[in-house]
């Protein structure tokens, strides 16, 4: 009976939208370092911020995608396929298209990076 309860709870959590996962999503936008962008968004994007964004990426600080309509998605590494994430992070201050799975948890949006174009 216990496994049935866990399955029911998991189904309820997904249905409630607490955790949303969609397959084969893509997001196009600028790769930004979130440490700077969240603190001062007006000056933490574009070519003038490239060197800082690259430095933050090398330090392992969180990186994200800023879409044209000002949505921000945290870049997440697929532990079984880390190459896509590494490629995305190398694109600091550039516009890229990231493909993977969008996820939402506790109001935060992210994408598990599978590939970058």
- pTM score, whole prediction: 0.78
Please answer whether residues 28 and 66 qualify as being in contact, where contact means their C-beta atoms are separated by less than 8 angstroms: no
Q: What is the pLDDT of residue 24?
A: 78
Using only C-alpha atoms, the chain has a radius of gyration, in whole angstroms, of 16
In Å, what is the CA distance from 2 to each residue of 5, 8, 33, 108? 5, 10, 44, 31
Per-residue pLDDT tens, the chain, 117 aa: give them: 444 444 444 444 444 444 444 457 999 999 999 999 999 999 999 999 999 999 999 999 999 999 999 999 999 999 999 999 999 999 999 999 999 999 999 999 999 999 999
Q: What is the pLDDT of residue 95?
A: 97
User: What domains does the chain contain, in order, with CATH numbers?
Assistant: 20-116 (2.40.50)
Q: What is the pLDDT of residue 16?
A: 47
Q: What is the pLDDT of residue 14?
A: 47
- Token readout for 105 is 């948890």
Q: Which of 22, 20, 110 is nearest to 64 (CA)?
A: 110
In Å, what is the CA distance from 38 to each residue of 44, 45, 66, 114? 9, 11, 11, 25
């Amino acid at each position: 009976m216990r496994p049935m309860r866990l399955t029911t709870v998991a189904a309820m959590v997904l249905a409630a939208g607490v955790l949303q996962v969609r397959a084969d999503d893509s997001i196009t936008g600028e790769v930004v370092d979130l440490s700077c962008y969240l603190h001062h968004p007006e000056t933490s994007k574009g070519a003038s911020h490239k060197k800082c964004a690259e430095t933050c990426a090398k330090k392992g600080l969180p990186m994200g995608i800023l879409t044209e309509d000002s949505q921000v998605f945290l870049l997440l590494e697929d532990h079984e396929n880390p190459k896509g994430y590494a490629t995305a992070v190398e694109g600091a201050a550039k516009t890229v298209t990231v493909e993977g799975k969008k996820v939402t948890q506790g109001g935060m949006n992210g994408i598990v990076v599978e590939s970058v174009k």
